Amino acid sequence: MIEESLQQIASKAQAAISAAATSDALEAVRVEYLGRNGSLAGLSKEMKNLKPEEKASVGKLLNQVKNSLEQDFDVRKAAFDKAALDARLATEWVDLTLPASGTRPGSIHPCTQVQQEIEDLFVSLGFTVLDGPEVETENNNFDALNIPTDHPARDMQDTFWLTGGHLLRTHTSPVQVRGMKKLGPPLRMIAPGRVFRNEEVDASHEHTFYQLEGMMIDRNVSIANLIYFMKTLLAGIFKREVTVRLRPGYFPFVEPGFELDIQCLICGGPGCPVCKHSGWVELLPCGLVHPNVLRNAGIDPEEYGGFAFGLGLTRLVMMRYAIDDIRWLQSGDLRFLKQF
């Protein structure tokens, strides 16, 4: 009985394979006869009821039928695949010998544009532009900046840790450490660059973004010097007066420390997702350099002082161009970038 059923299934399956008009119809035939719950699988389950002397011959016949149908299926499927490829090539064919249709002019990324403007501004004020590695040591990123291992400020840093005591820098302040050690006082420097924070991404936060930090080390440096340079910076970038506020802030590497906030230029003050509905955007953490930071760099705090500031370059770009979501800047979407 099983032998007769196998012959009938083989005949029907071969006819169905030959009659399949599309690749989908062919796949349906495969599932019906060769699938896990197909006709051949059902007969295979019945072999347990056969006598031992019958199982060998029936099993051999079952494998022959299965192999034959699979071969017929593969041949038919290859024909469908070739036809589909030929049709695709006919529509997508490109003559590479034809001259190019023209080049599309590129543009400088808005973050790079604003960074270059700030660099030009500070260079005109006697500052040096310094750079440093994005993979930093724990010492340069934390310890030298008055943030030892047991310091509570470390809990404020969501850090991407690497092997061997290295990390992806969480701010560009390590460049200040390198600059003080290499150049010594008097010193005027800025350090633009990419930084990394293990933060939850939203409209105003990214795990990868850009900062620009600055520092001035000299004799008789005061808060008045700090405020002058910050006002000069904002006037140069926004090309107009902006509303700011200065409030106390805590940063281990400065004392006293301040937060310079700018009124949100997206909503103008009422509140939006960029400013977290507060009307203000944190833009310029700043303050006078902590004596411990000077000592760690080999500078005598009794003789020299200074100020330092950290600028959220990416947020500054958002304010300048009224960009309502920080994720656009790293998206690589040409529809967005070509506007600049």
317 pLDDT above the threshold of 70 = yes
Quote the pTM value. Answer: 0.61
Q: Can you read off the two tokens belonging to residue 144? A: 């030298």
d(CA 53, CA 238): 93
pLDDT at residue 219, rounded to an integer: 93
d(CA 136, CA 303): 29
157 pLDDT above the threshold of 70 = no
Which comes out higher in pLDDT, residue 332 or 139?
139
pLDDT tens, position by position, 267-307: 877 888 878 888 888 778 889 999 999 999 999 999 999 99
Query: At a CB cut-off of 8 Å and minimum separation 6, what does 110 contact?
Result: 317, 320, 321, 323, 329, 337, 340
pLDDT tens, position by position, 29-53: 888 878 877 787 777 777 777 777 7
136 pLDDT above the threshold of 70 = yes
d(CA 114, CA 237): 8
Query: At a CB cut-off of 8 Å and minimum separation 6, what does 155 contact?
Result: none
- What is the CB neighbour count within 10 angstroms for residue 338? 11
pLDDT tens, position by position, 94-124: 777 877 777 777 788 889 988 999 999 999 9
d(CA 179, CA 74): 68
Q: H or E segment at 245?
A: strand 244-248
174 pLDDT above the threshold of 70 = yes
d(CA 6, CA 69): 12
Residues 230, 260 contacting (CB under 8 angstroms): yes
d(CA 104, CA 251): 46
Q: H or E segment at 66?
A: helix 52-92
Pick the range with the lowest mean pLDDT from 126-130, 144-148, 176-180, 298-302.
144-148
Helix (H, G, I), strand (E, B) or coil at 165: coil
Q: Can you read off the two tokens belonging to residue 225? A: 């010097």
d(CA 331, CA 201): 13
Q: Look at residues 301, 143, 16 and name the one whose alpha carbon lies nearest to residue 8.
A: 16
Q: Which residues pair with 261 in a beta bridge?
A: 245, 282
Cα-trace Rg, the chain: 35
pLDDT at residue 32, rounded to an integer: 81
pLDDT at residue 16, rounded to an integer: 84
Confidence of residue 1 (pLDDT cuts 50, 70, 90): low
pLDDT at residue 175, rounded to an integer: 93
Helix (H, G, I), strand (E, B) or coil at 117: helix
Helix (H, G, I), strand (E, B) or coil at 4: helix
Please provide the average confidence, as pLDDT, over all residues in the chain. Answer: 84
7 pLDDT above the threshold of 80 = no
Query: At a CB cut-off of 8 Å and minimum separation 6, what does 301 contact?
Result: 291, 294, 295
Share of the chain above pLDDT 90, in %: 22
Confidence of residue 70 (pLDDT cuts 50, 70, 90): confident
Q: Which residues pair with 136 in a beta bridge?
A: 167
